[in-house]
Amino acid sequence: MKKIWLALCFVFVLSACGNNNNHSGSSSVPPELVELEVSVEITPESIQPGDTVTIAAEVSLEGEPVEDASEVQFEVWKKGQEEHEMIPLEAQDKNMYSIAKTFEEEGIYYVVSHVTARNAHRMPKTEFIVGNPPESTDADTESDESHMEEPMDGHEGQHEH
């Protein structure tokens, strides 16, 4: 009797799992990935200690300007340093998000732009040099490579929320 009861339960579970009717009328197909584009520019090109630098991110989605990004932050640090500075931003000129920052020490610096807009996220990383820093060590390189832009969920640096 127990074997029959187990067999019936097994059939019931299988039939319930196989019944994938969607009565809400919505499709079970995931939404299309949107192409969030973030272009980072650092000016001036040649930077000396004490110079004020403009770090700007231009944000667009499928070729159209994004003026309403839900989050834009610049993460800035000097190569080899553990501490990173997070700087939140707001749109300043349509789809351009920028800051002015002074770098007092020469060295190799990184900025990661954390941009979230319309259910997509990008984190492009940019390297720039202040002054004429000495050659870096392998240990410095290893600590900073963990912040390289990597594909999220198999999509080149993009993540859908």
Q: Does residue 12 surpass a pLDDT of 80? A: no
The per-residue pLDDT for 2 is 54
Q: Which amino acid is at 64?
A: E
Angle at CA of residue 8, ends 3 and 11, nearest 5°: 125
Query: Smallest Cα–Cα separation from 54: which of 36, 67, 40?
Result: 40
Residue 72: is it exposed, middle or buried by C-beta count within 10 angstroms (0-12/13-18/19+)? buried
pLDDT of residue 55: 95
CATH number at residue 108: 2.60.40.1930
Within a domain: residue 2? no
Q: What angle do CA 48, 53, 54 make, to 5 degrees?
A: 155
Asked if the structure places residue 5 within a domain, the reply is: no
Predicted confidence (pLDDT) per residue in 93-139, tens digit: 788 999 999 999 999 999 999 999 988 999 999 999 999 998 755 44
pLDDT at position 78 over 90: yes
Whether residue 23 lies inside any domain: the answer is: no
Q: In this structure, is residue 31 part of a structural domain?
A: no
Residue 142: pLDDT band (50, 70, 90) is very low
| Structural domains of the chain, count | 1
> Residue 69: which domain range?
36-160
66-77 pLDDT tens trace:
988 899 999 999
- pLDDT for residue 29: 42
Query: Quick one: pLDDT at residue 113?
Result: 96
Would 20 be classed as within a structural domain?
no
Better pLDDT: 35 or 112: 112
Q: How far apart are the first and last CA of the chain?
A: 50
Residue 7 lies in a domain: no
pLDDT exceeds cutoff 60 at 27: no
Per the model's pLDDT, the better-predicted residue between 67 and 159 turns out to be 67
Give the whole-number percent of the chain exceeding pLDDT 90.
50
